[in-house]
Amino acid sequence: MLPTNESRTMANISVPSMTAAARPARKAANRKSSVAHDRLTVLLIFLPPALLLFTLFVIMPMGEAAWYSLYKWNGYGTPTEFIGLRNFQVLFRNAAFTQALMNNGLIIVISICIQVPLAIWLATMLAHRIPGVVGFRLIFFLPYVLADVAAGLIWRFVYDGDYGLFAAISNFFGFANPYVLADKDVAIYAVLGVIVWKYFGFHMMLFIAGLQSVDKSVLEAAEIDGATGWQKFRYVTLPLLGSTLRLSIFFAVVGSLQLFDMIMPLTGGGPSNSTQTMVTFLYTYGVMRMQVGLGSAVGVVLFIICVTLAFGYKRIFMRHD
């Protein structure tokens, strides 16, 4: 039974595709082989450049990171000193690295708890048709197009205890000069402030796009039924924003995991490693000291986290999108 069944479905599938391929060929009978030839040429010309670049500079380095992470190596010659998983052991016993992991987690939490609600709030306000809306959108999006390095340096000035805006404000209220970035208990929160400042506009734009796809008639129906503004938001708008919300959180998580450019001008990971992230840790301990094995181990940990999150998140939350 089984083989015939199978061959029948196979035949069913192959018949329409055959005729579809045969139709143009029939119109120009002698062209069929030249088309196949043409197709092969295109594949052989069009795919290799991308394939080569991608394999050489993305996939192979990632594989090499996994390989190097098992060695103690300074980057010259070939790695010979095999030490097994020792690099990972060193890593997870390193206080700076665990601090970096915690900071990455904290950044994700803050992004979700502060940045996303702020973005939704602003997006709903900018959904009103009032004069000046376009201007506000533009202003809010502006920090996002600035380089992280520039944003970091600007805020380094803002936070500066001698010349910055924070100094002026606290002097005005009669407090001593604050040195927020030099205080290891406060510095990470100062950094978080800059992250929110720079990225809320991007998330706001995602939500504005999401709001535009919300059906106006549903809101009107709710209004006729006597729903208040908050009820309309809570029971109509918010559920309809679900896919945007998931997208926004996804970008917040991915952004947090690769945070580096902004930390360097602000604190460089200090004071006493209190603002390290995984990538600044990789740079400080792996690249600066040319500890290729240890640095690659950080890369592997980061890779595993990224891939797990990407697959897990897609599977759990983005099924319906």
Contacts (CB under 8 A) with another protein, residues 62-81: 62, 64-65, 68, 75
Residue among 247, 264, 286 nearest 147 (CA): 264
Residues 252-281 that bind another protein (CB under 8 A): 254, 257-258, 260-261, 264-265, 279
The reply to whether 249 sits near another protein by the rule CB under 8 A is: no
The reply to whether 179 sits near another protein by the rule CB under 8 A is: no
What's the CA gap between 170 and 178, in Å, rounded? 7
CB of 205 to another protein, least distance (A): 5
What is the distance, to the nearest Å, from the Cα of residue 96 to the centroid of all Cα atoms in its chain?
23
The reply to whether 13 sits near another protein by the rule CB under 8 A is: no
The reply to whether 205 sits near another protein by the rule CB under 8 A is: yes
Among 142, 182, 218, 318, binds another protein (CB under 8 A): 142
| Segment interacting with another protein, rule: CB under 8 A, options 7-15, 93-101, 178-186, 197-205 | 197-205
Q: String of b and e for 191-200 (b: at least 16 CB within 10 Å)? A: bbbbbbebbb
The reply to whether 247 sits near another protein by the rule CB under 8 A is: yes
The reply to whether 175 sits near another protein by the rule CB under 8 A is: no
Comparing CB distances to another protein, the nearer of 35 and 221 is 35
What's the CA gap between 221 and 216, in Å, rounded? 9
Contacts of 25 (CB under 8 A, 6+ apart): 31, 32, 35
Among 15, 51, 85, 113, binds another protein (CB under 8 A): 51
CB of 119 to another protein, least distance (A): 11
- The first and second tokens of residue 88, run together, are 């990972």
| Segment interacting with another protein, rule: CB under 8 A, options 2-10, 90-98, 105-113, 290-298 | 290-298
What's the CA gap between 151 and 159, in Å, rounded? 12
Cβ proximity of 212 and 220 under 8 Å: no
Among 11, 13, 18, 59, binds another protein (CB under 8 A): 59
- The first and second tokens of residue 157, run together, are 């000035």
